[in-house]
Amino acid sequence: MFWAGLALVGTISLAALLAPLFTPYEPTALNVDHVLEAPSTSHPFGTDALGRDVLSRMLYGGRVSLWVGFLAVGISITIGLFFGLIAGYFGGMADELIMRGVDVMLCFPSFFLILAVLAFLEPSLVNIMIVIGLTSWMGVARLVRAEALSLKKRDFVLAAKLAGATNTRILLRHILPNAAAPVLVSATLGVGGAILTESGLSFLGLGVQAPTASWGNMLLEGKEVLEIAPWMSIFPGIAILLTVLGYNLLGESLRDLLDPRLKR
């Protein structure tokens, strides 16, 4: 699973990064002479209702979707680490306040919570990344808290306290590195989830706005001409499927590799 996931993720990421090498067309270039053209040698994935090359828009849109996934997960991991370490290490009132806040946020379905927040904000790429990150850190916080609760009772942490190490040093040098493995797995799985969320928001018209291409708004555009130009929806849908599948395979295999309790 690890190599299959890595191959999928690596191939799609490399194709998006090297997009100009795979297509001579700009993603926003209009061509009224080639409107809704079926896949051909000149346009391998066909064209859309404005004559734009679908392959070009997919490759450049992949950059947007992947950036949203990476940065949104980066925000959620940072927040989750901060609150999880504080709650697990210090305990007491800090733990109660943080975890009750986490419980309250988990009561709301995350996608509808994102929709509610975006209703008050202008749809933009930056806002989407921030909102997804701010509404998806709770699982990381609970995971890190559980690790911190276990690690703070270990002998090496007690020895560091006896040696006079500050709480900040203990958290950053002793607890955080030992809690990194499950966080890495959570981050890998979270990228796929963030890409799905962004695609869903863009499909609803609340995500990345035209003319910027993303896989979600390409599905939205393809919905209008699904019967006569199915390639506009098929290829972005396959890209989303393979990307999320790749990150899920990678995350599951990393969990098996890094968790000694799962080794036979």
Number of CB atoms found within 10 A of residue 18's CB = 10
Domains of the chain, CATH where assigned: 2-10+60-259 (1.10.3720.10)
Q: What is the dihedral of CA 31, 37, 41, 43, to 10 degrees?
A: 50
What digits encode the pLDDT tens for the residues 67-115?
A: 999 999 999 999 999 999 999 999 889 999 999 999 998 888 888 888 8
Residues of the chain with confidence (pLDDT) below 50:
264
What residues form DSSP beta bridges with 47? 53
**Going by C-beta distance under 8 Å and a sequence separation of 6 or more, which residues neighbour residue 65?**
195, 198, 199, 214, 215, 216, 240, 243
Evaluate whether 255 touches 262 at the Cβ level (below 8 Å): yes
pLDDT of the residue at 11: 93
Instruction: Please give the pLDDT value at position 211.
Output: 82
Q: Are 178 and 147 in contact (CB under 8 A)?
A: yes
pTM beyond 0.85: the answer is: yes
Q: What pLDDT does residue 138 have? A: 92
What pLDDT, on a 0 to 100 scale, did the predictor assign at position 263?
A: 53
pLDDT given at position 248: 92
Residue 45 tokens read as 């994935």
- The C-alpha atoms of residue 58 and residue 55 are separated, in whole angstroms, by 5
Residue 123 is predicted with a pLDDT of 74
Tokens of 244: 């999320």
pLDDT value of residue 101: 92
Which residues contact residue 78 at a Cβ distance below 8 angstroms, ignoring those fewer than 6 apart? 137
Tracing tokens 């989750």 back to the chain, one arrives at 80
